[in-house]
Structure formats: structure tokens, C-alpha cells
Structure 1
Amino acid sequence: MHLLDIDQLRTFVAIADTGSFTRAADVVHKTQSAVSMQMKRLEERVGRAIFERDGRLSKLTDEGERLLDYARRIVRLNTECMASFNDNELVGRVRLGLPDDYADRYLPEILARFSRSNPKAEVTVMCEPTHNLIERVQHGDIDLAIITHVDRRGPSEIVRIEQLLWVTSARHSVHEETPIPLALGRPNCDWRHSATEALESADRPFRILYVAWHSTAVGAAILAGLAVSVLPESAVRPGMRILGPSDGFPALPSCKIGLIRSRREENPLADALGFHIKQSLDNLGATRPLLAPAAE
């Protein structure tokens, strides 16, 4: 029986996560040709084709999907094993802030990646609105924060861009009411401003029926068929229906997600967590069946 090469498996996981041979090469610090050669040798080791062509693109075969599950576990276990013998690993506490809706969608992946690499580090998480988080970072109360980027609030490192979408219940027709009942955030919420400005520009009457700090409450109003709201693409849940121009709802702008850090002192733990945040948010996607061709 052939033994699997962990370096090849790590590259395979990077391809699946990034959706591209070329981007995976950057992640694993190899040339594109080296990545392609590794995948050829991995296929030879397992005795199965793990990629198949779909026009100019490639996608994982059924065997490739099965291998991916094993590859993730093997790579994770290898990382944990090596970390247990690393006397130079980072220790201490790092403070992270983010809005609650970002915590719900992004935090599991971020914490999983970070804790595997830094098992002795303590992460303190604060969930607050973006404008509060900016102040906390400026005052040194937290080390870094994931925020909704708006130019007027100052610079941030953009780590993800998503489309804002109109959403309603898939089982109700509340979006056909006039005026349109809305469930939105507080008056200083940027998504709320985008929604109301779009409806005003389209001359669609509306009324704000529910106001909430937390996305869970907004989601409850949507799923109950009580109101229409706006959410980023990754926040759309089962039971929700996306509305568009054919339904009378104008297009919305994109949502930029930024990362800001306290610069009061050097913090290797904050740098490490920031790296994992960028990797996690860049790798997230609704589906990853198609991969860019090796020669893109």
C-alpha cells in the first residue's frame, strides 16, 4: 500500500479551498508547474483521477471529493502533532472584535484555523457594531476587528467583497405589500442606508417595521414572513428568497469587509490571527466544484 504524501495533500486542499491551481501555488509557496506535478503524482498514488475537465476548467471527481475529506483530516492532524512539539509557538491573549452577523458566518472557520496553529493562544471575542469596533481599536481596547468597510470611516484592509441582496421569506409574499415592510439595523447601519436609498431612488414606498442590533432578530422577521431585508450573499439562509429587479427591487451595492488593527504595540498573535482571518474569508464560497485551469 502506498503512503500518502502530506505535502501533496496540503497542496490538494489549497487547490480545493482557493478554486485555482495558480492561487494554490501562492498559498503553498510553489510554482504552478510544481503544483500540477504534485497533483499528477497524487493521482498516481491513489490510483484514481481526482480532477476532470469541464471545458477549460477542472473540477473534482467523486473520488477527488472523497479524498478531500481525508486530506483535510490528515493535514490538520499533522499540523496539530507538529504544534505539540513546537517550543516556539505563540502564547498569550489576542482580542478580536466583529459584528454578530460576521461572527455567525465567519468565526467558526477563523477560530478553527487559528487554534490549530496556535493551540496555546487565548482569543477574546467581542461582538459589537462596526462603529463601536473602530473606536475600540483606536483606543487600544481590542487588537484587531473585522468591520464593514465604508470610506468615510477611514482605511481598512479589504479582505472580502460580497453582493448585498434583497431577501424575503420563501413561503410568504410580504414583498408584494405596499408600502414594503422592512426589517433593518439601527439608523447608523450602512446596509440600512443602502436599502432605503435604493427604494427611494426607485420610488418604492416603504416603512421600517423592525429595527434590531443583531442579525438573528432580523433573520427571524424575514423567515416569519413579516418583512423584507438586505443581507450579504453568504448570510442568505434556507427558507429565504432572493429578490431582484424582476420583483421590483433595485440592485444594491456590494458590501466590503475590512480588517483593522491596533498599532499601539507590536503583537505577533494579532498578526497571526490577521493572517488566518484573511485566509479564511478569501477561501469562503458558496460552492467549490469548479477549479480554474492549471494554465490560467
Structure 2
Amino acid sequence: MSPPLGLDPDLLRAFVYVAEEQNFTRAGARVGRTQAAISMQMRKLETLLGKTLINRGRGEGIGLTPHGQYLLDRARELLALNDSIWSSFQAPDVSGTVRLGTPDDYALQFLPDALRRFAETHPAVEVEVVCLPSTELMERLKAGQLDLSLISEGHETKGWPARELIRGPLGWITATRFSPHKLTPLPLALAAHDCIWRREALRKLDETRHPYRIAYISGSATGSMVPVLAGLAITCGMPNRLPEGTRLLAPGEENLPELPDFAVLMLKGKGAPQPVTDRLAEHIETAAKCEARSAGWLSQSA
């Protein structure tokens, strides 16, 4: 019996992009190929595996067959290993320490995958992660205590070039089992006074004259979720990757005002060590781009 043929990473990468974009043309744009070339690659992959992977001819985009769904996660794992091996041999030999600051909620959103991939390609680099509110992170950045930091848009960044990673809407978040959003006055769980999200939420409520009371104050956005989970208050925050037991309120539900868009910025410290800081920033940008795409947000790094 002859050994099985190997799977071309280029075919798998094109397949993953087709699955993510649900469109041959957009998938092709990500790898610099035409729609016809991507379609041909998918036919080749299906012939190689002997299974139909893609449902074609749907009204809106395309979808995956059960065999395609089976392949998708495994293709991502294989590509991650392939890219890790390649990067390990191609990356410059850098070492040292990079000090990274981030609000706690952004840490959960972007950093796990970014730090894992960075560690795989730069095993000699130590990353110190500091989780604090954006205001405190800006103070540490100005004091030279951080090399790289994520902060929320709206904080003072004058004199500091800022890279916008993602932009998307804030949302009102409540419990799935309880209805604190139906109470009058509306009980709120918010972060400290210098939080941009808090400021915008209160401004919108004041503008619409919606009665409210600040029932709980936390030092972090993650801490604000505790009374929400208990059904004691609602909060505002990023509308994706919500903790189990919480949900996003629909636009206009209970006549709550629509919240504005927010942006996540990345700032580099003056005198930050190079090239290690740039390499970490690239990994964070990539993770942010994936998050923005999955959530349907705008990504400046796309």
C-alpha cells in the first residue's frame, strides 16, 4: 500500500481563508490570487481528499459541508504548526525582556494567542505583562516603565504615535437569567471614574434622560461583570466573547441609548528595546486583526 499524499499548506491556507470569508474573491485577495485561482485550488483539494468540502451556489456566500467543517479546525492546527516551524528558523535571534501593558479585558481578547505565537518564535525573550486601567498605563508609559501598551481611545496620547488596532461598537450587557435592565432606575456596574467606557455610557444616559444609579464600581471591566452575572446590574463593554451567563442587549431594548464606537490603540514606549518590541507588536496586530474579522469590526491593521 502506497503512503498517503501530503497536504499542500498553500491549499489548506486557501481553504481556511475561503471558510472565513465565505467568498472566493475575498479569500483570493488575502493571498494575492484571483477568484478563479482560488476556485481551482479548492477543486484540487477536494479531488485530493475525495470529498466535497464546500457548498457552492448559495444565495449569500458559500458554506462548508460536514467534511469541510471537519477539515477546518485541523487545517488551522496544521498551518499553525507549519508557520511556527518556519518562523522559528526565519526569525532573527533576539533575546531580552519586553514590558507590555494592557487593560485586563483586552488581555483576554488579544494576548493569549499573540503571546503563545511570540513565545514559539522568540523563546529567549521574556514578556512582563502588566494589567491596569488605561490611565495608569499611560502614566507608566510616560515614565519609561513600559515598552508597549494597549489602551482605550480617548485617553491623552499627545506626543505618542498610536496605532489603531481595532474599532467596534460598545454594547449594553446584562444577565441571561435575570433582568436588571428592566429596573428603574437602571442599576449600573461600571469601572472607576477615569474609564472612557463609563464616561460615554453615562453621557448617553444623561442625554436621553434615562434614570440610572451607579450600583457597583470596579477597578476593571472584568470586575464589573460580577454583579452582572448575579443579576444585580448591567454594564457596558465589548460585545464579543462575553462570559457565560451574560448577553448583549439588542439595540433599543428597554429604550437604552446606543453606545458609540470604541477603538483599541497600541503605543510604543520611548526607548523600547528593538527589534523585540516590534516583533511582539506584530503578533498583537495579527491577533487583533483576527478578532476584528471574527467580530465584524473594522481593523486598521487588516
Q: Which residue of 162, 176, 179 corresponds with 2:168?
A: 162
In the aligned structure 1, how far is the partner of 2:221 from the partner of 2:254? 24
Offset at residue 126 of structure 1 (A): 0.8
For residue 75 of structure 1, what is the amino acid of its counterpart? Answer: L
- Bigger drift between 177-186 and 8-17 goes to 8-17
In the aligned structure 2, how far is the partner of 1:145 from the partner of 1:208? 29
Offset at residue 51 of structure 1 (A): 2.1
For residue 252 of structure 2, what is the amino acid of its counterpart? Answer: P
Q: Which residue of 225, 228, 232 corresponds with 2:234?
A: 228
Which string of whole-angstrom CA distances, capped at 9 and with x for unpartnered residues, describes residues 185-241 of structure 1? 111101101111111111111111111112332111101011111011124222223
* Identical counterparts, % of pairs: 36
Offset at residue 86 of structure 1 (A): 5.4
Aligned pair 1:114/2:114, yes or no?
no
Aligned to 1:7: 10
Q: Which residue of 61, 69, 86 corresponds with 1:57?
A: 61
Task: Identify unmatched segments of 5+ residues in structure 2.
Answer: 296-302
Which string of whole-angstrom CA distances, capped at 9 and with x for unpartnered residues, describes residues 115-139 of structure 1? 2333332221111111222232333
- SS of the aligned residue for 2:62 comes to strand
In the aligned structure 1, how far is the partner of 2:108 from the partner of 2:286? 17
Task: Identify unmatched segments of 5+ residues in structure 1.
Answer: 289-296
Which string of whole-angstrom CA distances, capped at 9 and with x for unpartnered residues, describes residues 124-175 of structure 1? 1111111222232333322211111127544521111221111111222222
Aligned to 1:212: 218
Give TM-score, length-normalised by structure 1: 0.86
In the aligned structure 2, how far is the partner of 1:14 from the partner of 1:90? 31
Aligned pair 1:134/2:143, yes or no?
no
Change in Cα spacing, 1:140 to 1:281, as seen in structure 2 (3 Å) is same
Q: Retained in 1: the 8 A contact 2:173–2:237?
A: yes
Count residues in correspondence: 288
In the aligned structure 2, how far is the partner of 1:203 from the partner of 1:225? 23
For residue 180 of structure 1, what is the amino acid of its counterpart? Answer: L
Aligned to 1:239: 245
Q: Which residue of 95, 98, 112 corresponds with 2:99?
A: 95
Q: Retained in 1: the 8 A contact 2:169–2:260?
A: yes
Q: Which residue of 260, 263, 267 corresponds with 1:256?
A: 263
In the aligned structure 2, how far is the partner of 1:268 from the partner of 1:38? 37
Aligned to 2:177: 171
C-alpha RMSD of the superposition: 2.6
- Bigger drift between 89-98 and 174-183 goes to 89-98
Q: Retained in 2: the 8 A contact 1:17–1:283?
A: no
Change in Cα spacing, 1:287 to 1:141, as seen in structure 2 (3 Å) is closer
Offset at residue 87 of structure 1 (A): 7.9
In the aligned structure 1, how far is the partner of 2:69 from the partner of 2:152? 34
Aligned to 1:79: 83
Q: Which residue of 285, 289, 297 corresponds with 1:282?
A: 289
Give TM-score, length-normalised by structure 2: 0.84
Offset at residue 34 of structure 1 (A): 4.3
Aligned to 1:146: 150
Aligned to 2:300: none
- SS of the aligned residue for 2:16 comes to helix
Offset at residue 98 of structure 1 (A): 0.5
